[in-house]
Amino acid sequence: MDLKLSGKTAVVTGGARGIGRSVCQVMAAEGAKVAVFDILAEAAEETAQMIKSAGGTAKAYAVNLSEYASVKDAVAQVKAELGPIDICACVAAITDNQATIEKMALEKWAREIKVNLSGNFYLVKETIDSMVERNFGRYIFVSSRAGMDGGFGQCAYSSSKMGLIGFARSLSLEYARMGVTSNIVFPGLVDTPATAGLSEEARTRIIARNVMGRLQDPEELADAIAFLASDRAKGINGAELMVSQKPAPWSFRPMELPGDEAAMGI
Ligand SMILES: NC(=O)c1ccc[n+]([C@@H]2O[C@H](COP(=O)([O-])OP(=O)(O)OC[C@H]3O[C@@H](n4cnc5c(N)ncnc54)[C@H](O)[C@@H]3O)[C@@H](O)[C@H]2O)c1
Residues 16-31 pLDDT 10s: 999 999 999 999 999 9
Cβ(89) to ligand 1 under 6 A? no
Using the predicted structure, report yes or no on whether residue 10 has a pLDDT greater than 60.
Answer: yes
Nearest Cα to 50, choosing from 74, 72, 20, 79? 20
Cβ(39) to ligand 1 under 6 A? yes
DSSP H helices in 83-180: 106-113, 119-134, 146-149, 155-174
How many Cα atoms sit within 13 Å of 217 on the Cβ side? 5
- The answer for residues whose C-beta is within 8 angstroms of residue 239's C-beta and 6 or more apart is 183, 184, 228
Q: Kindly list the distances between the CA atom of residue 261 and the CA atoms of 95, 152, 196, 200, 206, in Å, as whole numbers in the listed order.
A: 17, 8, 21, 17, 17
- Report residue 260's pLDDT band, with 50, 70 and 90 as the boundaries: low
Calculate ∠ Cα 156-146-87, nearest 5°: 90
Give distance in angstroms: CA of 92 to centre of ligand 1: 4
Which of the two residues, 128 and 203, has the higher pLDDT score? 128
Cβ(193) to ligand 1 under 6 A? yes
How many Cα atoms sit within 13 Å of 201 on the Cβ side? 5
Identify which of 39, 47, 71 to mutate to test ligand 1's pocket (most ligand atoms within 8 A of the CB).
Answer: 39
Cβ(21) to ligand 1 under 6 A? no
Over residues 60-74, the pLDDT tens digits come to 999 999 999 999 999
Using the predicted structure, report yes or no on whether residue 256 has a pLDDT greater than 60.
Answer: no
Atom of ligand 1 at shortest range from CA of 19? 16
Question: Residue 185 CB: number of other CB atoms within 10 A?
Answer: 22
- Which CATH homologous superfamily contains domain 9-245? NAD(P)-binding Rossmann-like Domain (3.40.50.720)
Which of the two residues, 177 and 208, has the higher pLDDT score? 177
Over residues 38-91, the pLDDT tens digits come to 999 999 999 999 999 999 999 999 999 999 999 999 999 999 999 999 999 999
Active site residue 157: yes
Each domain of the chain, given as residue ranges in start order, spans 9-245
Lowest mean pLDDT among 75-79, 119-123, 142-146: 142-146
pLDDT at 252: 47
